[in-house]
Amino acid sequence: MDYFYGPGRNHLFVPGPVNIPESVLRAMNRNNEDYRSPAIPAMTKTLLEDVKKIFKTTSGTPFIIPTTGTGAWESALTNTLSPGDRTVSFLIGQFSLLWIDQQKRLGFNVDVVESDWGQGANLDILASKLAEDTAHTIKAVCIVHNETATGVTNNLAKVRKILDDYRHPALFLVDGVSSICALDFRMDEWGVDVALTGSQKALSLPTGMGIVCASPKALVASETAKSVRVFFDWKDYLKFYKLGTFWPYTPSIQLLYGLREALDLLFEEGLDNVIARHARLGNATRLAVEAWGLKNCTQKEEWFSDTVTAVLVPPYIDSAEIVRRGWKRYNLSLGLGLNKVAGKVFRIGHLGNLNEPFELVILGYETALECSKTQTLRVIIAAEWSHGLQLLGCLAGVEMILKDVGYPVKLGSGVAAACAYLQNSTPLIASRM
Amino acid sequence: MDYFYGPGRNHLFVPGPVNIPESVLRAMNRNNEDYRSPAIPAMTKTLLEDVKKIFKTTSGTPFIIPTTGTGAWESALTNTLSPGDRTVSFLIGQFSLLWIDQQKRLGFNVDVVESDWGQGANLDILASKLAEDTAHTIKAVCIVHNETATGVTNNLAKVRKILDDYRHPALFLVDGVSSICALDFRMDEWGVDVALTGSQKALSLPTGMGIVCASPKALVASETAKSVRVFFDWKDYLKFYKLGTFWPYTPSIQLLYGLREALDLLFEEGLDNVIARHARLGNATRLAVEAWGLKNCTQKEEWFSDTVTAVLVPPYIDSAEIVRRGWKRYNLSLGLGLNKVAGKVFRIGHLGNLNEPFELVILGYETALECSKTQTLRVIIAAEWSHGLQLLGCLAGVEMILKDVGYPVKLGSGVAAACAYLQNSTPLIASRM
Amino acid sequence: MDYFYGPGRNHLFVPGPVNIPESVLRAMNRNNEDYRSPAIPAMTKTLLEDVKKIFKTTSGTPFIIPTTGTGAWESALTNTLSPGDRTVSFLIGQFSLLWIDQQKRLGFNVDVVESDWGQGANLDILASKLAEDTAHTIKAVCIVHNETATGVTNNLAKVRKILDDYRHPALFLVDGVSSICALDFRMDEWGVDVALTGSQKALSLPTGMGIVCASPKALVASETAKSVRVFFDWKDYLKFYKLGTFWPYTPSIQLLYGLREALDLLFEEGLDNVIARHARLGNATRLAVEAWGLKNCTQKEEWFSDTVTAVLVPPYIDSAEIVRRGWKRYNLSLGLGLNKVAGKVFRIGHLGNLNEPFELVILGYETALECSKTQTLRVIIAAEWSHGLQLLGCLAGVEMILKDVGYPVKLGSGVAAACAYLQNSTPLIASRM
Amino acid sequence: MDYFYGPGRNHLFVPGPVNIPESVLRAMNRNNEDYRSPAIPAMTKTLLEDVKKIFKTTSGTPFIIPTTGTGAWESALTNTLSPGDRTVSFLIGQFSLLWIDQQKRLGFNVDVVESDWGQGANLDILASKLAEDTAHTIKAVCIVHNETATGVTNNLAKVRKILDDYRHPALFLVDGVSSICALDFRMDEWGVDVALTGSQKALSLPTGMGIVCASPKALVASETAKSVRVFFDWKDYLKFYKLGTFWPYTPSIQLLYGLREALDLLFEEGLDNVIARHARLGNATRLAVEAWGLKNCTQKEEWFSDTVTAVLVPPYIDSAEIVRRGWKRYNLSLGLGLNKVAGKVFRIGHLGNLNEPFELVILGYETALECSKTQTLRVIIAAEWSHGLQLLGCLAGVEMILKDVGYPVKLGSGVAAACAYLQNSTPLIASRM
């Protein structure tokens, strides 16, 4: 059929791309610019410096690549590994599966450690593999921090500990696509060698930036890695970093300004506050699921994800019908079950700009208008954040859908459970007190 | 204090200004233009033609005035009445009170018919006044269709009937600020002489347009009305209507494009569908209020408003605290109780762009690219509308606030009542079936 | 015909509405908000304080009214005068004519002092009228600072001096619509009692705000002025100023944010720099006109306007054809000749956002991310401004049009004259040095 | 220094990224959406169909890849060639040099045919190489259609003819980055096997889409090509094309809507009209350069580029200083000389949205409002385009800069030459006649 829908604002609860804050939309609403003028490099410098903070690294080197998460994966792998290199990789859901597929197609020798979908990475097997690998044939351990398909968060600190226990020199490569900026992530402390995310996830931007951060050890590895690469080659970036012009090819001017605003919002709220907010949203969602009498796809509490919840439906219901109905009737976008869990789960994404920041702007103008360079001083003080109302609308929508498809949900039950929790855990908005 | 807050997107549930659709924001995101070029008059012509449809009039003459509702009131009165003229006006809440105050200050002799706040206009008194007025000293009957302060909708058809019963020639002036485009309104059928609304209400635009529509009888009255007026004088508009340039002074280019898009959205949904949607939203809200064990400020069902619900709180609660807390903690904007009902009611606005339209665009390009004037054919078919999720988020927020301030609400109860109703009354989104 | 044009960005050189800066468009690209929340009054307070700076007053009281320049006129007159009051008013072009017409229709007794169109106000006649008026029957002197129809700037300091010379207590009312924020204007120093402008002129916003500023003497006058008024009544504003909620009726949220940004841009550039820039643009334009061998409608240098130039065309050319052709062929919007000078002049507006600001932002983040309220410090240092290229494109367009319509212009001559001047007078952009 | 500039609208005359039309900015000003809903695939289908028109192909298969031109190069090469394959590639400037460098790094055996910078590809050498290559060791001929660094357009029809003359089966790969949508390009007629462009060039979008189009022969080649690839692999796209969901990974929702609008604008103007407009802009620029007494870097008329002009400066001037000064003083962004021509040329980009489209919209509403699905019929008829004023502003700016840096230019000379040409060649804007 030769048509398309042009919808207005909808209730977006897929685990990415996520809702964009209005101030970020405003920041991006601009014409192109010459990226070779002095202005863009000057801004880029602050972006590269600040982007390290979301990885919690001081020693890492970030690359902001005009690509998606898939391209960010490829950048991480091809810059650090050579064809034939052995990797250990954990298959726990659709996104780890796709990354493993990429590793294979790029010519690596992938040692797949599989778990049931709904479980976390089997780190005991990692330990035994490292124990056996006294010859250090394993060149990299590749792990998805948060498996978006099943709502499972892996324990990265433990991965690091196992590597350390066996004094194993393998590189530690982490997909942080649905975790960084939302879950606790500590690149330096956990000795992660390459971490990566995409702009359309917890950063709450449009798709179009794969952000990769490399440890000093990863940079060294990149000097000898034999994988063929040009577009994704860190060398070209590093060359332009030295020149101070930063970009080997044209960046999106709009996304640079958007990233600047997105980072400002994150730092205003405070990265730790952002993480705490996601924990509240995750808890509220899980309490609703429980109240509905449904099961979480994630099998143990230790793996519960604070950015996405995959909800198991009874066998007599097709979860795809829930997603379809949400879109058809309630203008609510939920995530489908993928591959092995297709038809069995639907997913509620609760990450990114679900709640609005409030800025308190103190304006003090210099008094002397006669001096030709008036200074405008803006001090922006971070605010606490309201939350929950958007999520509660989503939960109410899910309840109606569940009833629509024949599940005997008690209307209001999930919302009530979430409300009871949020009502006691939501702080006042500081700047409004 | 020398500061201001610059908030992001919040949950806006005051009864105006209301939420603006994204496509309207897009339409207004543009530079100024010369309003004396041929383009603006050509667009204005379609706007004036189409704006009549929202008043349900074919014989009326519309004026799109760069002002607010208060200015629209003044335009209606000064163009049709002379100083000293007697009017009958109904005082049933804060906005009718303000209009009466304006009538007095403009020098009219106002016969005020007062009701308890929470009741509709006392039309029996109107009947007796008209019966007595055989000399036709009453020049106009002024009534607010929907009193925004108390959530009371008056019966305009009945007003017409009474006027007709007594064959009284008084002009029939109607404030439709919080009704037109949301409630059933029929200018021609009900013999309304001047009706008016503001852009920031059910039209879901920014503030800045007072839209006034005059019947032929009102136009005749304007030729002899002695009230002093220049800015609000219809004569200047009519002069420029004849010239075909339409504007006696500079209009807002952005609001013209916004109005074009807002009208297109209304006609795509279908005006009657829009009214039916507001009825659903009103019902859902009232069911929630009932479930919370609270009373509607509106004392009888016949006056229930489908655009705003004023909720009475128990005497031990200050309703202003509910509004304050909504804003401080949940980023939820509710309406205050005003004047006589200050502290006693809070208001939930449920009008305008609460739900998103979906357009189904069929694109058919002419095949012959070699011909220099390719035609692009766009057929936009109106869609049904999802609704409720935004409102349900608001209702959940109110529940948490009520609990915060000490009212023993059962969390989830209002949401459940609204869901049960909406789940059975919300149609599928036609274009998505 | 039932159509309209929806043009893209064009070359807008009418003397209002003028080009809007991108950052102002961005600031206005937002949803509605509750204007009764604490945030809007807090912002309004800074706006009212800062708006006084563009009038160069410390003792004045500003009113930001949702109306146009015509409404601002009415606000100035009805709040300070009573029906029958005698005013002296200068007729020097179409806009002073319209204001005089308004004064008459509002019931004042207008003493019209007429000059040839192209001349300034005849202040000798003012002097003689004041000399004769020992009984102080003249209640107000009304003058347009810059007559937009002819490009004539009146000497306000001289008006003040004459009033002082005769110790005459008449109010001094000034239309600053096409002057304030672009030409030298000093409310306090010149003893202006009411000054006013519109948002779509040198403030470079959309239409929709009439900004009126009243001296203490004007405020006193407003207490006894008998003109009927409600929408435009300052009393309602003053009442809400005292309450701290500021708005007697709904303002445009978008224009408030736009005004905040527009004022920030003005103060960053520095008001005196803005005025100097307009002087350069005026000079450049006049040099081009001279180079084309055409005459300025303004008859003496002392009246030359730096915001608009009205160009006289030879008798064998219809200036309306020049404007039509600009629009039809070059996407260039020029101003028509109005009324007496219709067909005889076309106008080039050179006011407002003709040139782009550059901001130099120094970002310093507090280092301690662990503290929950990171402060973001933004210091914006005002920049010098590039200018001329937009104007030069316009001048080149005018040259082509002149040739199109049969005037023997030497192509490039006006541009060259303007370039020669601008090339020597344009400063480097400070923040880019 | 820890700062960045946040400039407003500037005069953007680099040969990419180029000016974005306002209506495209508007179309992109929107929240994210679920790209797995039915709406995005439906829109994608029309995009893929329509994008073929800008390549003038009916048999090609397009890929819209979230990457830049550099990534599009890599996609073209890795999908069609195997490591060690021999290519013939023409080195005529910086961008062809970079592509050759990529070819080498990807492991191909590149036969470089070098010309002086300022000359086109040496096709005689191509002929002799093909003549010799009876064994068909040459797998691909790679050529940049328009070398952006020197303003040289190569003759692709002639390349095809040579390939045909020798019945050589080599693939014909074309970089159309600064040509497609602006210069005459005919994929099917010229037998191009892979052609590619970037969104930020003549399509006038932000950076972020590499658009690649493959002939049936190229698709066949991709089935056996051995180059390692995942992110750029066409197979993944083809798999999702079959599924009807189209995207192997997340696209930028905003760029999709932007591309839809950009294509609509192109088709409204008519692709051939767009090309003719670029020819006029190129001619006008070259006439100005001649009038200044400067030389075009392009050595022969047959290679003149209609999208970018590289201007040679006298030896005593550093062309980089011209670019610096344009930016520092006139807010004018010009292109630097790159590599071999650094310091010797500056570049004027004259491609993309230099002139504004005007749409003539005929609105016909169905009369029956009572039927629930009102149809809105929009017929958009393509308009002719005004042009030149933006370019003339740029040319005037260049003249001032030239004088600033000591070149004895006659001010107005280039503008006059361009005006004389444009004044006679610019058509009326059809919809405004």
Q: Give per-residue pLDDT as tens, C170-187.
A: 999 999 999 999 999 999
Please tell me the distance in Å from A422's CA to the nearest CA on chain B: 8
- Lowest model confidence (mean pLDDT) among C154-163, D4-13, D33-42: D4-13
Contact C67 B71 (CB under 8 A): yes
Tally Cβ neighbours within 10 Å of residue B194: 32
Classified as helix, coil or strand, B324 is helix
> What's the confidence (pLDDT) of residue B372?
29
- The verdict on D69 and D200 lying in the same domain is yes
| Residues whose CB is less than 8 angstroms from the CB of residue D66 and which lie 6 or more positions away in sequence, other chains included | A66, A67, A68, A71, A207, A208, D208, D209, D210, D249, D250, D251, D252, D255
The Cα of B373 is separated from the nearest Cα of chain A by a number of Å equal to 21
Q: Which amino acids of A are annotated as binding site for substrate, given as ranges?
A: 347
Tens of pLDDT, residue by residue over C375-428, are 332 222 222 334 458 899 999 999 999 999 999 999 999 999 999 999 888 766
Q: Looking at chain A from residue 365 to 424, which residues have their Cβ under 8 Å from any Cβ of chain B?
A: 386, 388-390, 392-394, 396-397, 399-400, 403-404, 410-420, 422-423
- Closest approach of chain B CAs to the CA of D276, in angstroms? 11
Give the number of beta-carbon pairs within 8 Å between B and C.
196
Query: Which residues of chain A have a CB within 8 Å of the CB of C27?
Result: 26
Q: Which residues lie below 8 Å from residue B143, measured CB to CB, with a gap of 6+? A: B89, B90, B96, B121, B154, B156, B159, B172, B173, B174, B175
Last residue of a domain, one of C215, C231, C266: C266
C431: pLDDT confidence band, cut at 50, 70 and 90? low
**Cβ of D330 and C428 within 8 Å?**
no
- Last residue of a domain, which of D219, D236, D266? D266
Q: Output the six-digit token pair for D409.
A: 């230019």
| Residues B242 and B323 reside in one and the same domain | no
SS3 letters across D152-174: EECCHHHHHHHHHHCCCCCEEEE
Alpha helices in B194-270 (DSSP H): 216-224, 234-243, 253-269
Q: Are D305 and D275 in contact (CB under 8 A)?
A: no
Same domain, A212 and A301: no
D370/B272 touch (CB, cutoff 8 Å), yes or no: yes
Please tell me if residue D20 touches chain A, with a CB cutoff of 8 Å.
yes
Same domain for C222 and C100?
yes
Nearest CA in chain D to A251: D207
Spatial separation of the C-alpha atoms in residues C105 and B233, rounded to whole Å: 10
**Same-domain pairing of C135 and C283:** no
A4 assigned to some structural domain = no
* Structural domain ending residue among the three candidates C266, C290, C309: C266
Which of C32, C67, C325 should be substituted to probe chain B, the one whose Cβ sees the most B Cβ atoms within 10 Å? C32
pLDDT of residue A389: 81
Environment class of residue B315 by beta-carbon count within 10 Å: exposed (0-12), middle (13-18) or buried (19+)? exposed
CA pair distance A202, D30, nearest whole angstrom: 17
A 113-172 residues inside an 8 A Cβ radius of D? none
* Residues in chain C within 8 Å Cβ distance of A22: 29-31
For residues D114 and D247, state if they share a domain.
yes
Residue C91 lies inside a defined structural domain of this protein: yes
Percentage of chain D modeled with pLDDT above 90: 80
Pairwise CB contact (< 8 Å): A248 & D70: yes
- Do B220 and B333 fall within a single domain? no
Contacts of residue B388 in chain A, CB cutoff 8 Å?
330, 396-397, 400
- How do residues B268-297 score in pLDDT, each as one tens digit? 888 998 899 899 999 999 999 999 999 999
Supply the pLDDT for residue C7: 29
* Out of D268, D273, D369, closest to residue B376 by CB: D268
Q: pLDDT (tens digit, 9 = 90+) per residue, D335-353?
A: 999 999 999 999 999 998 7
- Residue contact B361–A392, C-beta within 8 A: no
pLDDT of residue A72: 98
CA distance to partner chain C, nearest, from residue B426 (Å): 26
> Is residue A273 predicted with pLDDT exceeding 90?
no
Structure tokens at C103: 């004064």
> In terms of domains, do D102 and D250 share one?
yes
Cβ atoms A82, A94 nearer than 8 A: no
Nearest chain A CA: its distance from D298 CA (Å): 23
Question: Which of the residues A2, A204, A378, A386 would you substitute to probe the B interface, choosing the one with the greatest number of B C-beta atoms within 10 Å?
Answer: A386
Give A186: exposed, middle or buried? Use CB within 10 Å, 0-12, 13-18, 19+.
Answer: middle
C107 and B228 in contact by Cβ < 8 A?
Answer: yes
State pLDDT tens for residues D195-236: 999 999 999 999 999 999 999 999 999 999 999 999 999 999
- The verdict on residue B16 lying in a domain is no
- Name every chain B residue with its beta carbon within 8 A of the beta carbon of A23: 6, 8
Minimal Cβ distance to C264: which of A371, A376, A379: A376
Within-domain flag for A150: yes
C-alpha distance from D246 to closest chain A C-alpha (Å): 14
B327 with C37: Cβ contact below 8 A:
yes
Answer yes or no: is pLDDT of D374 > 80.
Answer: no
CATH code: domain of residue D303: 3.90.1150.10
C39 CB within 8 Å of a chain B CB: yes
Q: Do the chains contact at C372 and A270, CB–CB below 8 Å?
A: yes
Mean pLDDT to the nearest integer, A290-313: 98
Nearest by CB to B374, which of D29, D267, D363? D267
> Looking at the structure, do residues C359 and C223 belong to the same domain, yes or no?
no
Among D113-117, D260-264, D423-427, the range with the most confident prediction by mean pLDDT is D113-117
- Answer yes or no: do A196 and A295 share one domain: no
Instruction: Inform me whether the pLDDT recorded for A3 exceeds 60.
Output: no
Q: Is residue A53 part of a domain?
A: yes
**In whole angstroms, what is the distance from residue B253 CA to residue C16 CA?**
12
C-contacting residues in B 255-274 (Cβ below 8 Å): 255, 257, 260
When divided into structural domains, chain B yields a total of 2
Contact A382 C373 (CB under 8 A): yes
Looking at beta carbons, which residues of chain A come within 8 Å of D107?
Answer: 228
pTM of the model: 0.92
Contact between A175 and A198 (Cβ < 8 Å): no
Nearest Cα of chain A lies from the Cα of D291 at a distance, in angstroms, of 27
Nearest-Cα distance to chain C for B13, in Å, is 9
The SS3 call for residue C64 is strand
Residue B7, in any domain of the structure: no
C16 within domain boundaries? no
pLDDT in tens, chain B (433 residues): 333 333 234 789 999 999 998 889 999 999 999 999 888 999 999 999 999 999 999 999 999 999 999 999 999 999 999 999 999 999 999 999 999 999 999 999 999 999 999 999 999 999 999 999 999 999 999 999 999 999 999 999 999 999 999 999 999 999 999 999 999 999 999 999 999 999 999 999 999 999 999 999 999 999 999 999 999 999 999 999 999 999 999 999 999 999 999 998 888 888 998 899 899 999 999 999 999 999 999 999 999 999 999 999 999 999 999 999 998 888 899 999 999 999 999 999 999 876 533 333 333 322 222 222 323 322 222 233 344 588 999 999 999 999 999 999 999 999 999 999 998 887 766 666 5
Per-residue pLDDT, A390: 85
**pLDDT level of residue A429 (50, 70, 90 thresholds):** low
* C1 contacts chain A (CB < 8 A): no
Neighbours of chain B (3+ CB pairs under 8 A): A, C, D
D170-202: burial string, b at 16+ Cβ within 10 Å, e else: bbbbbbbbbbbbbbbbebeebbbbbbbbbbbbb
**Using the beta-carbon criterion (under 8 Å), do D396 and C403 form an inter-chain contact?**
no
CATH of residue B209's domain is 3.40.640.10
Asked whether residue D123 is assigned to any structural domain, the reply reads yes
The boundaries of the domain holding residue C316 are 269-432
Q: Are residues D252 and D215 in the same domain?
A: yes
> What are the binding residues of A?
347
CB contacts, 8 Å: C372 with chain A: 270, 272-273, 382
Nearest residue to C379 (alpha-carbon basis) of C363, C367, C366 = C363
Candidates A209, B400, C173; CA nearest to D255 is: A209
Interface mutation target, options A64, A99, A254, chain D, most CBs of D under 10 Å: A254
A250 and A317, same domain (yes or no): no
Residues 6+ apart with CB under 8 A from D194: D76, D79, D80, D171, D172, D173, D174, D212, D213, D214, D215, D218
Question: Where is C126: in which H helix or E strand?
Answer: helix C123-132
User: A185: Cβ–Cβ under 8 A, 6 or more apart, which residues?
Assistant: A55, A56, A145, A156, A176, A179, A195
